[in-house]
Amino acid sequence: MSGHNALNLIDIEPGTRLRTNEGAIVELIENPRDGVWLICRYVEHPSEPGLVGDAEQTVFAQDIVGLAEAGQPGEET
């Protein structure tokens, strides 16, 4: 992410839903606040639906493109 729309991932709190560069939506479970990794669970994944569930996954911070806006197509509400 760049420019004025940059998201400071160090300050993101658990429970926040984020969109990845693959079009997936993840929910933050734990934030180690290292600016590199986030511990998340997949809520939606367009190309790998088997990742969706309760399992914790590490997500590289550079793969996050922004907040998942409520009400976007395909997102659970």
The secondary structure of 15-37 as a DSSP string is: T-EEEETTS-EEEEEE--SSSSE
In this structure, the dihedral spanned by the alpha carbons of residues 73, 63, 45 and 71, taken in order and rounded to 10 degrees, is: -20
Question: Domain containing 22: what range?
Answer: 3-67
What's the pTM? 0.81
Averaged pLDDT, 64-71: 84
Domain of residue 43, CATH code? 2.30.30
Share of the chain above pLDDT 70, in %: 83
For residue 72, is it within any domain?
no
The number of domains in the chain is: 1
